[in-house]
Amino acid sequence: MTVVPTVALTGVTKRFRGTAALDDVHLTLGPGITGLLGPNGAGKTTLLRITATVLTPGAGEVVLFGTRPAGPEQLAAVRRRLGYLPQEMGHPRGFTGFGFVDYMAVLKEWTDRAARHAEVRRVLELVDLDGVAARRVSALSGGQRRRLGLAQALLGDPDLLLLDEPTTGVDPGQRVTLRQVLSRAGERSTVLLSTHQTEDVAALCDRVVVLDGGRVRFDGAVADLVATAAGRVWLADAPDPAARASWRTGTGRHRVVGQAAPAGAEPAEPTLEDAYLLLLGERARTTGVAA
Amino acid sequence: MRAGPADEDAALLAALADGDLAAMRRLYERHAPWLSARLLRRCNDPDVVADVLQDSFLALWRGAERWRGDGEVAAWLWGIAVRRLVSRLRGRRAAVVLPLEEEADPGTAPSAEEVALLGVEYGDLGSALLRLSPEMRAVVQATVLDGLSTRQAARLLGIPAATVKTRLHRAKAHLRRELAGGLA
Amino acid sequence: MSTSTGGWHADEDLLSRYVRGDAGPVAAASLEQHLLRCASCRDRIAAHVPVPLLDAAWERVRDEAVAGRPRRLERLLVRLGVPAPDALLVATAPSLRTSWLVGLVVTLVFVGLGAAYGGDRGLTFFLLVAPLVPVAGVAFAYGPDADPSHEAALATPYPATRLLLLRTAAVLAASLPPVLLAALLVPALSWTAVAWLLPALSLTAALLAASTWVRPTVTAAALGAGWTAAVTSASRAADPTAVLAPALLVAYAVLGCLALLVLALRSRSLTTLGSPS
């Protein structure tokens, strides 16, 4: 018996004006939460767009739920089973929070009004927005709008959930709510979560994919990525300019991530962030290049 | 100093403009019960009453800023509700009960206090009202107490507007006589 | 405001008799006046009122309140027999909002006045604006510039082509009759008052076809520039109505049909983002 993976990307490549946003990406996803890490411009958004069927790859093959969505019917069938939160998510003018999710639910073929409203209420409660559902979207905070975007992605409990930076702008308290929602979704659905936050990945994901320059640099268990940093993280009394990274922590000591132990340093327990820094080096800190 | 109930209503109304659903729920809990009871005495169809409740509170939700901020929210709400009832009842005569039709039996006759209260508000209207025929009382109730125009009262009671006018005229004359007699 | 009720309050027996409908006329009227001014009696009457009725009405109030009031156009479309979900999707387009339509009417008043009293210049102005009205409307009815949630909408099973055509139909239905009416009221326009419809429809079809490559606003700007150049050069040469010469009218019709063919063949590309944003 073979289990059909939810997502199977083979040799996916996408170029924009000559530069490769994605370069020969192979990725297979099944139920559970996979974190997608990488600096800005690494191709995370392009990967999510292609997986969400809103962008066609230049080369390579995208197979979702065992089918290549070629014709309009197959495309609609695949889209019925996926929820997508784009990185840039605006809202048409004049909607209340409820009205916007209701609008998205209509696009997702919830034609019966009573059933649709019940579903909209359900997802708004999940992301803890039921209290402000009657407020205009323009009056909501950035974090609330982000959660509204997540709510529409959750409509109909999709088998595949593609989330492009769902926690951006969300305050720490609400982030815990979101983690609960996502971990519950990950129990039965396939969730691909792009983020800048290594803490989100450490808290939620069993698997992590690191993209850099359009290529997959790491794909495996979160614990395995953390293990690559074993023996390369220390606590020292002084900063170490030779290290990959070193910074003063709250305790007054300096955390040093690098190849060699500085003098008088003691080994420290590595985190996902340490491993990420070691994997990508300087580029892990690159910012400002749009995907 | 504790804010009075009227101030609380005003504060809740102000919150509606920001899309505060919890404030809406509070206002509903405070006003829907008495409003539905009063509507049920004018229309015996609970479905129509539920529709009118819905219309009235939605009007409140969408038009909270139209409240001028003087007087009781309850009175304002009743004004909305009774007009919605009239428009809902267009072409639905069967659903209506004539208000105040039933005579109180001796066991449930109004207490002196109850009559006195109405006396406080409207002179010695209470006992004078009792002596009106049910049809005339219905007209007095719809126009004087419920605040409807002649046309609206006619629609509510299912009688021509001219009839409302003559009955009201006669009822007023009757009440004037009664009240003058009471004073003498 | 006075909330004084002289210390009198209804007892439980009166409240229960009132709700049952046998309190008697005077007591009932008396209590009703009292309730308008007494929050404590209003609170106490709640225990006597049937809960299911209140709960059912509340659920409907809550649903309607959170959903917001349907747009005017949405209510109109539903009354005309359009299915409610389609009506909602159509009415969400910015160029079908009341503010846009008001702007259109104001523009038409000016254009109409210009055409009636402005001589050749007025005529040029009319020929310039009239065919571009539906083009501008369609440009702001679909795509990333009209709908900030366009990308999320693309990932839904709702057919993108259907949405584009529904909104285009609504834009044409909303914008062509007012322009036509304005034109017919100006006697100076004679047959020009109707002939502009052909380039208008042809330009709109071209916009739809091009939207399978680039976002509609970009195409609309290009079409607008091209049309403006054509009309002004015709006007400078002698007669602005030269853009409506019989041979050109045939060309518009042919181009329009070709554009619709392109749209049909390329409609698949409407289901994805055209270029990276």
- Contacting subunits of C (3+ beta carbon pairs below 8 A): A, B
* Confidence class for position C11, pLDDT limits 50, 70, 90: confident
Q: How far is CA A41 from the centre of its chain?
A: 14
Return the CATH number at B139. Answer: 1.10.10.10
Q: How many residues does chain B have?
A: 184
pLDDT on residue B100: 45
The CA-to-CA distance between both ends of chain B, in Å, stands at: 46
- Contacting subunits of B (3+ beta carbon pairs below 8 A): A, C
Residues facing C35 on adjacent strands? none
Same domain, B141 and B68: no
pLDDT on residue A100: 96
What does the alpha-carbon distance between residue A211 and residue A217 come to, in Å, rounded to a whole number? 6
Same domain, B49 and B11: yes
| Residue-by-residue DSSP string for A241-260 | TTSSEEEE-TTS-EEEESSS
Two tokens, residue A228: 């690559």
Question: Taking CB atoms and an 8 Å limit, are C39 and B58 in contact across chains?
Answer: no
Domain that holds residue B149: 99-184
Give long-range contacts, CB 8 A cutoff, 24+ apart: B126-129: B126/C26, B126/C29, B126/C30, B127/B178, B127/B182, B127/C26, B128/B174, B128/B175, B128/B178, B128/B179, B128/B182, B129/B175, B129/C25, B129/C26, B129/C29
Question: Taking CB atoms and an 8 Å limit, are B18 and A139 in contact across chains?
Answer: yes
> For residue A256, is it within any domain?
yes
Q: DSSP H helical segments within C132-245, as ranges? A: 132-139, 150-154, 160-184, 192-195, 197-210, 216-237
pLDDT on residue B182: 52
| Closest listed residue to residue C73, CA positions, set C58, C88, C56 | C88
What does the alpha-carbon distance between residue B179 and residue C22 come to, in Å, rounded to a whole number? 26
Give the residue extent of every domain in chain C: 2-49, 52-88, 93-272
Partners of C156 on chain A (C-beta within 8 Å) are 79, 104, 107-109
Greater confidence, A126 or C187?
A126
Q: Indicate the residue type of C151.
A: E
Q: Which pLDDT tens digits describe chain B residue by residue (184 residues)?
A: 445 777 888 888 888 877 888 899 999 999 999 999 999 988 888 899 999 999 999 998 888 667 776 778 898 899 899 989 988 877 555 444 444 434 444 344 455 555 545 554 555 666 777 778 888 888 888 887 788 888 888 888 888 899 999 998 888 888 888 776 654 3
Return the CATH number at B73. Answer: 1.10.1740.10
Give long-range contacts, CB 8 A cutoff, 24+ apart: B159-166: B164/B139
Question: Taking CB atoms and an 8 Å limit, are C61 and B24 in contact across chains?
Answer: yes
Two tokens, residue B131: 């002596």
Return all residues near C58 (Cβ < 8 A) that are at least 6 apart. B25, B28, B32
* Mean pLDDT confidence for C92-106: 87
Greater confidence, C110 or A123?
A123
Same domain, B91 and B118: no
pLDDT on residue B118: 52
pLDDT on residue B134: 82
Residue in this structure with the two tokens 């990488």, named with its chain if needed: A38
Residue in this structure with the two tokens 């259109």, named with its chain if needed: C104
The CA-to-CA distance between both ends of chain C, in Å, stands at: 59
Same domain, B70 and B119: no
pLDDT on residue C28: 86
pLDDT on residue A24: 95
What does the alpha-carbon distance between residue C84 and residue C107 come to, in Å, rounded to a whole number? 31
What does the alpha-carbon distance between residue A159 and residue A84 come to, in Å, rounded to a whole number? 11
Q: How far is CA C15 from the centre of its chain?
A: 50
Two tokens, residue C106: 């104001």
Question: Taking CB atoms and an 8 Å limit, are C61 and B62 in contact across chains?
Answer: no
Task: Give φ, ψ of B15 to 5 degrees.
Answer: -70, -25
Question: Taking CB atoms and an 8 Å limit, are A132 and B22 in contact across chains?
Answer: no
Q: What is the DSSP pairing of strand A207-212 with strand A266-267? A: unpaired
What does the alpha-carbon distance between residue A206 and residue A191 come to, in Å, rounded to a whole number? 11
Q: Which of B63, B96, B129 is the last residue of a domain?
A: B96
Nearest-CA distance B160 → chain C (Å): 23
Greater confidence, B135 or C258?
C258
Q: Are A106 and C89 in contact (CB under 8 A)?
A: yes
Return all residues near A2 (Cβ < 8 A) that are at least 6 apart. none
Condensed to tens digits (0 to 9), the pLDDT of residues C169-202 reads 999 999 999 888 888 887 777 788 889 999 999 9
* Mean pLDDT confidence for C238-242: 83
pLDDT on residue A41: 87
Neighbours of B90 (CB within 10 A): 8
Q: What is the DSSP pairing of strand A82-85 with strand A160-164? A: parallel
Collect all residues from A whose CB is shorter than 8 A from any CB in B: 96, 131-136, 139
Condensed to tens digits (0 to 9), the pLDDT of residues A159-213 reads 999 999 998 888 888 999 999 999 999 999 999 999 988 999 999 999 999 999 9
> For residue A24, is it within any domain?
no
Label residues C188-218 b or e (16+ Cβ within 10 Å = b): ebeebbebbbbbbbbbbbbbbbbbbeebbbb
pLDDT on residue B138: 85
Q: DSSP H helical segments within chain B, as ranges? A: 5-16, 21-40, 46-63, 73-88, 112-122, 125-130, 134-140, 150-157, 161-183
pLDDT on residue C120: 79
Sign of CA dihedral B139, B141, B144, B146: negative
Instruction: Give the side-chain half-sphere CA count within 13 A for B120.
Output: 15
**What proportion of chain C, given as a percentage, has pLDDT over 70?**
96
pLDDT on residue B99: 46
Number of alpha helices (DSSP H) and beta strands (DSSP E) in chain C: 15, 0
Q: Are C82 and C71 in contact (CB under 8 A)?
A: no
State yes or no: pLDDT of A26 exceeds 60.
yes
* Confidence class for position A287, pLDDT limits 50, 70, 90: very low
Residue in this structure with the two tokens 């990959």, named with its chain if needed: A244
Measuring CA to CA, how many Å separate C12 from each of A148, B107, C23, C46? 47, 16, 12, 11
pLDDT on residue C1: 41
Greater confidence, A94 or A28?
A28
pLDDT on residue A94: 86
Local structure of residue C50 (DSSP, 8 states) = -
Question: Taking CB atoms and an 8 Å limit, are B19 and A131 in contact across chains?
Answer: no
Domain that holds residue A250: 225-287
Return all residues near C62 (Cβ < 8 A) that are at least 6 apart. B21, B24, B25
* Confidence class for position A261, pLDDT limits 50, 70, 90: confident
What is the number of structural domains in chain B?
2
What is the number of structural domains in chain A?
1
Q: What is the pTM of this model?
A: 0.83
| Closest listed residue to residue C189, CA positions, set C107, C84, C112, C98 | C112
Two tokens, residue B147: 């605040």
Cβ of B21 under 8 Å from any chain A Cβ?
A: yes
Greater confidence, C228 or A241?
C228
Q: Is A228 exposed, middle or buried, given 0-12, 13-18 or 19+ CB atoms closer than 10 A?
A: middle
What does the alpha-carbon distance between residue B32 and residue B144 come to, in Å, rounded to a whole number? 23
> For residue A241, is it within any domain?
yes
What does the alpha-carbon distance between residue C34 and residue C204 come to, in Å, rounded to a whole number? 65
Neighbours of C4 (CB within 10 A): 8
Mutate to test the interface with A, among B12, B20, B21 (most CBs of A within 10 A): B21
* Mean pLDDT confidence for A221-243: 90
**Chain-wide mean pLDDT for chain A?**
91
Same domain, B179 and B109: yes
Q: Indicate the residue type of A154.
A: L
Question: Taking CB atoms and an 8 Å limit, are C58 and B25 in contact across chains?
Answer: yes
Task: Give φ, ψ of B43 to 5 degrees.
Answer: -150, 125
Greater confidence, A129 or B183?
A129
Q: Which of B41, B74, B96 is the last residue of a domain?
A: B96
pLDDT on residue A265: 85
pLDDT on residue C15: 92
Nearest residue on chain A to B15, alpha-carbon basis: A135
pLDDT on residue C265: 93
pLDDT on residue C276: 43
Q: Which of B44, B65, B96 is the last residue of a domain?
A: B96
| Residue-by-residue DSSP string for C89-152 | HHHTSGGGSHHHHHHHHHHHHHHHHHHHHSHHHHHHHHHHHTTHHHHHHHHTTSSTTT-TTHHH
Partners of B110 on chain C (C-beta within 8 Å) are 23-24, 26-27, 30
State yes or no: pLDDT of C79 exceeds 90.
yes
* Mean pLDDT confidence for C6-32: 85
Nearest residue on chain A to C161, alpha-carbon basis: A72
> For residue A30, is it within any domain?
no
Same domain, B172 and B121: yes
What does the alpha-carbon distance between residue C61 and residue B21 come to, in Å, rounded to a whole number? 10
Cβ of C17 under 8 Å from any chain B Cβ?
A: yes
